[in-house]
Structure 1
């Protein structure tokens, strides 16, 4: 088995394959176990109680770029090594053609990694909601809002381009389900103060 991995020019592919795979697996295990996987990019992902979404995400690109470079290089090495080794030992190609196939395999693995990273960033940023944008918005009462702040109801309001159900209080009269409302204040806990829209 070792001679298959290291005989002739196979070491040119085996070493990068093992290095890339090792780094990738270590990062994966750390990420899945909740350990320090260096993926903390400075995001403040405090949960929005009322909207059940995240808000105020302030991700910093430098941390993400460091991870992208480490994971990108390990993905390239893994693809290069295993594709090159398969071509060299499995297809009995020479060293130079096998290196070409290895580079192609590395580029494909790197491309897959970049696509996954881009998708992950889009998904995480789509969860970031700035509830302050709700101020002044109109919506509809989902569950009756009690009078004079003596409890909370729920309202449907469009925030950051998506409809959200938010906890709501009224400083005046009770507001029944189905009534159109206007948000006059957003509180620190992301609940909103509402009034009937016609007032």
Structure 2
């Protein structure tokens, strides 16, 4: 292994340094997906508002056509995995560095796009009209991607819906950013697939 590593050029070492951890992360994601620990985002939620301040979802939610999301964590992990190994394989086979970079970038980009479509169609196949998203209202979730204040942007939360962990888009009416790993309460649903959340514990004032 040491001899092989020492035989690599600087660019090849950089490619291997990118590809190896990306491959490990990709494998972990696949294993988590197989065991239901890394659910995809839900789509297509219709809401009504009653007098108690918590919005109600329809009787059943479904995955709406929210489009294909290419630039995701899974997409970038796939890109770096394919890019790194493609560059390394081409470079070791005698191709020039510029050609290896170009082909690696193209293959990585194609893999990222394919990943986006695979996830999109997988979510469409999961949409059988049996998921009751109203069961998540009032439940506790955990922030995965920070949620900007005052609905100025969208973050993501992981929440248990009908014994399945789902990664859902989320917004907040709070005046401060809700950080990663912060516990939140699901207050309602807006649009087609976005949860409205608030902190489980009030933010500390500066």
TM range (shorter): 0.3 to 0.5
* Greater relative contact order (Cα < 8 A, sep 6+): 2
Normalized per residue, which structure has more helix? 1
The TM-score normalised by the length of structure 2 is 0.46
User: Larger C-alpha radius of gyration, 1 or 2?
Assistant: 1
